[in-house]
Amino acid sequence: MKAIIVDDEKHVREGLLLLADWAKFGIDTILEATNGEEATKLISEHQPAIIFTDMRMPRFDGIELLKWIDSANMNSKTIVISGYGDFKYTKNCITYGGFNYILKPINPVELNETLSRAVEEWNKENHDRLSTLENEKVVWDHLLSSCLDKSKLSKRIVSQIEKEFHVDVSVASYTIALIPMKMLIHKRYNEDFEGAFSAILTVCKEVLRSCSIQGVAFRNLLKEEELAILLWGDSDGADVMAKVISQIHQRKNVLCNVAIGPSSHQLVKAYETASTLLKQINLLDDNGVVIENILHPDVVHLFNYSEEIKWAIQSGSVDQIDSILERIFKVFKERKAFTWEQLETWEIQFDLLKEHWIKEYEIHKRDSLYKGINYWHDDGRFSLEAFQQEKKKEFHELINLVYNCKFQKEKNSMQLIEEYVRNNYQKNIKLQEIAERFFLSREYISRKFKREYQETITDYVTRIRIEKAKELLENPYLKIYDVAEAVGYQNDKYFIKVFKKIEGQTPSEFRNSF
């Protein structure tokens, strides 16, 4: 929070600096002025919350300063400090919105009590003011955005805009400029959408106001990352936007693109032409303000490579996916063009393909997938090389995730099959029956089961049966044919043959060895 002390006497200013408990009230910047004229400049520039002023000063006294503060609609709390208890000063203090009147010599307790009340009231009013402004901003963002896709505006909207901006939108000629916010949001505002739009809208409004330009800047709610500036009258759109881009560069040290469409009496047409121009801006050039574009490169669609990409992902081949991406990016490098439309198309189609594959493999870790957005130079220019590397990272992580999930899924299937076979070893299980139960082909089950357990399903069942038979043979009261039947052999002679082949002795010899 800022405050200013306006007094021509140095010792008074120094006394206030010492006596007020600034830190307690959150005031970290205290400005000083020796007269009202000097104060108006500092107040205009810094917008202090609290103003302390003397009444008798040379050239531009306290009364004149109070009048100026009142006429300028400053959202400040003014505390008058004077050695004069004259009713004239008290009256002017009240008339022009002064918060309080303190007589010299200054009482520290009275000073800090007054300052406390002033800060408290300013904070409350500022909170209400910001809430009102935010609500109004959201309303106007919605209202103005809605105008961009309506061929005919309702009388209510026309009336509202005319009342607020003093322009008849039904007959005026418009120019629309569009600023893509993607780079700024990522590079300078750490993905803070609200902070980015608020800051850049402030820059736009300041430029429009300082140049006395008829127009309004707003967040275009039709597009997630787009700021729009609507100009009317005789405004030179290119000149205005050059100043906006210059201010953004000065404050944030980044270079932005802005597209300005031709003037039109139809808002929809003005927006469509500006939007088309923005999509065609070549990100590999240092564009700045763009008012025309002869570049119309065909958009490269990831969808056209979806089958190749799918096989690379299913096979877990990083080299294969790199080869596909190298072919795609070779096109961009040879044509020396990569547009905003291409960037947007790539991101949309990759997300759609990713969602399809994630759903196909029933993956639940989608939130942890890498999102490659770091493809801008420090000064805000687009880097095709960085974009390629970021997209490779995205595909590599997707490959690993899908392949690992696929492997785990296959592994889980084999575990379920093994469990089923082990629990039903005494039955005459057919491979076709297992295939139908687990919705897998017989060939696939045979191949994967042997790879997982190093033996065929038949050998596995036989081994389980013989192990169980050995346990039963420890009971001397069970006949050999009873044991054979219990472990799944209807023919005891065949059982004896299989047992001897595996154990090197007959069931009777095995029993007699105890």
What does the pLDDT average to over 126-154? 70
Q: What is the CA radius of gyration of the chain?
A: 39
Class of CATH domain 2-127: alpha beta
Q: What confidence tier does 354 reach under pLDDT thresholds 50, 70, 90?
A: confident
Residue 326: is its pLDDT beyond 70? yes
Q: What confidence tier does 457 reach under pLDDT thresholds 50, 70, 90?
A: very high
Report the pLDDT value the prediction gives residue 122, as an integer from 0 to 100: 87
pLDDT tens digits for range 285-319: 877 788 876 667 889 999 999 989 988 887 788 89
For 301, the token pair is 């669609």
Nearest in space to 12 (alpha carbons), one of 77, 109, 83, 84: 83
Residue 205: is its pLDDT beyond 70? yes
Contact 102, 111 (CB under 8 A): yes
**Candidate from 29-43, 90-104, 284-298, 413-427 with smallest mean pLDDT:** 90-104
pLDDT tens digits for range 486-506: 999 989 899 999 999 999 999
**Residues of the chain above pLDDT 90, percent:** 42
Entry field: residues in the chain: 514
Query: Cα(13)–Cα(48) distance, rounded to whole angstroms?
Result: 16
Residue 173: is its pLDDT beyond 90? no
Residue 366: is its pLDDT beyond 60? no
Contact 229, 176 (CB under 8 A): yes
Residue 238: is its pLDDT beyond 60? yes
Q: What confidence tier does 116 reach under pLDDT thresholds 50, 70, 90?
A: very high
- Most confidently modeled of 83-87, 179-183, 359-363? 179-183
Q: Tell me 305's DSSP state.
A: G
Give 82's strand partners.
Answer: 103
Residue 95: is its pLDDT beyond 60? no
Nearest in space to 35 (alpha carbons), one of 16, 59, 13: 59
Which class for 283: exposed (0-12), middle (13-18), buried (19 or more C-beta within 10 A)? buried
Contact 508, 476 (CB under 8 A): no
Q: What confidence tier does 30 reach under pLDDT thresholds 50, 70, 90?
A: very high
Residue 476: is its pLDDT beyond 80? yes
**Candidate from 52-61, 77-86, 130-139, 276-285 with smallest mean pLDDT:** 130-139
Report the pLDDT value the prediction gives residue 500, as an integer from 0 to 100: 93
Within the chain, which residue ranges are assigned CATH 1.10.10.60? 424-512
Q: Tell me 234's DSSP state.
A: T
pLDDT tens digits for range 1-12: 999 999 998 998
The residue type found at 369 is L
What is the CA angle 250-251-253, rounded to 5?
65
Residues 6+ apart with CB under 8 A from 166: none
Within the chain, which residue ranges are assigned CATH 3.40.50.2300? 2-127
Contact 173, 235 (CB under 8 A): no
Q: What confidence tier does 141 reach under pLDDT thresholds 50, 70, 90?
A: confident
CATH 1.10.10.60 fits 424-512, yes or no: yes
Residue 91: is its pLDDT beyond 70? no
Report the pLDDT value the prediction gives residue 388, as an integer from 0 to 100: 96
What does the pLDDT average to over 87-101? 59
Within the chain, which residue ranges are assigned CATH 3.30.70.270? 148-290
Residue 87: is its pLDDT beyond 50? no
For domain 148-290, which CATH number applies: 3.30.365.10, 3.40.50.720, 1.10.730.10, 3.30.70.270? 3.30.70.270
Query: Cα(265)–Cα(287) distance, rounded to whole angstroms?
Result: 27
Residue 325: is its pLDDT beyond 60? yes
Query: Cα(362)–Cα(412) distance, rounded to whole angstroms?
Result: 14
Which class for 435: exposed (0-12), middle (13-18), buried (19 or more C-beta within 10 A)? middle
Q: What confidence tier does 406 reach under pLDDT thresholds 50, 70, 90?
A: low
What does 35-94 look like in DSSP terms, one character per residue? SHHHHHHHHHHH--SEEEE-S--SSS-HHHHHHHHHHTT---EEEEEES---HHHHHHHH
Q: Tell me 376's DSSP state.
A: B
Query: Cα(241)–Cα(433) distance, rounded to whole angstroms?
Result: 72
Report the pLDDT value the prediction gives residue 448, as an integer from 0 to 100: 87
**Residues of the chain above pLDDT 70, percent:** 90
Q: What confidence tier does 135 reach under pLDDT thresholds 50, 70, 90?
A: low
What does the pLDDT average to over 379-390? 94
Q: Tell me 213's DSSP state.
A: -
